[in-house]
Amino acid sequence: MKLPFVLMLSGIVLLFLGGIPGVLEFMSMQGFPLNPTYNLFPAHWFIMIYGFFGALIGNEILVALSVEWRGEQADDRIILAFLVTTILGSVSFIFNRSIGLLFALISMFILLMYSKEYLGYSKIGLKPMTYNYLLFFSIMISTAILAIQIGLGYVIPYLNLVYPASLIIAVMNRDIALVTGVRVSRSWENVLAFILLILGMSFYPHGWEFLILSWILSFHASGLYKFKGRKYPIIHLFTAWLYLLLASIFVGNYDVCIHAIAVGFLFNTVFGVDVVLMDMFINAFGKRLVAKPSYIPFAILNFGLIMRILYDFGISLSFFILSAPLQGIGIISFFVLTLRQIIKVRVR
């Protein structure tokens, strides 16, 4: 079994480990009598960010991008070290936060050191682009955030969203053209958006001006407002940026802001970059795959998330108890449908 596949599979397992406690906790807040994973909930956010998203990002940097830039994936020992520290960090955080943070810091340091590869020339002689530098600085800043929390002796959960959120801005500087089919060249806007996003999230809840400006610049740079190109990714990414705007406007409502970013922005982006995910699967399985997108996960996820946000605004209806399960089903169904395509190809 190839290590990239194991890394991808571990990310999905960590998605369950981090996601299920979050679902049951929200249901218990609304009166659901059973919550057998209540003791796992405090680690919910950490496992999702540094476990699930960490594995996804690791696959991009150590495998997919490495094959594209260097002509080969990272050494198996590097992938294995990242895989082990990511899993250990996620699991140990449940029992001991300090140890979990330390393992996560090691896994981030592995990514940081390897991402230096993208600051040099590619195998075919291409110069590093804005994307390469933003990728490196996103990981560097996220590593520093982890180190600061270890130094402080306590965690600041929302601040850790800088890691996946800033990486999305970095990745979209290049991949927006891949997923929509429309070439957009406004790198300076994405650079400013990247900086402002980090400032806004770092000074939360007082950095809303930075977040608004970041949204304006990144949205304009993306060209999503033109609705040109492939409709599937555009609809998903347009929705993701709407949630980022919502988070920027309602920074005073912690739950709305956090879930708009952590679920609305991040997962709609993951759903929308189907072409990029296929690159990961190609390198993980050695098979060329063609994405056959479905809008079912998108509809289920966002229906559930809208109910959650309305609840956070103070609107409470009995059927809102379905909010968290629907979000979970939407996310899981996306990966199930994707993995089904992979299994069919492998069987053939």
For 282-335, write each residue's pLDDT tens digit: 555 555 555 677 899 999 999 999 999 999 999 988 899 999 999 999 999 988
37 DSSP 8-state letter = T
For the cut 50, the answer to whether the pLDDT of residue 15 exceeds it is: yes
pTM over the 0.75 mark: yes
pLDDT at 204 over 90: no
Looking at residues 13-32, what average pLDDT do you find? 92
| Other residues' Cβ atoms within 10 Å of the Cβ of residue 344 | 11
In contact, 49 and 42? CB cutoff 8 Å: no
Widest Cα–Cα separation across the chain: 61
User: What would the pLDDT profile of 127-153 be if each residue is shown by its tens digit?
Assistant: 998 889 999 999 999 999 999 999 999
Give the number of other Cβ atoms within 10 Å of residue 151's Cβ: 7
Check residue 347 and give its pLDDT.
45
Please report, as a single letter, which amino acid is at residue 3.
L
DSSP 321: G
Q: Are 103 and 139 in contact (CB under 8 A)?
A: no
User: Can you give the pLDDT at residue 288?
Assistant: 55
pLDDT of residue 64: 85
Residue 343 has pLDDT above 60, yes or no: yes
Taking only the tens place, the pLDDT of each residue in 74-98 is 999 999 999 999 999 999 999 999 9
For the stretch 93-114, pLDDT in tens is 999 999 999 999 999 999 999 9
- Token reading at 277: 């995910």
**Residue ranges of domains in the chain, CATH in brackets:** 3-347 (1.20.210.10)
Can you tell me which residue has the tokens 């057998």?
36
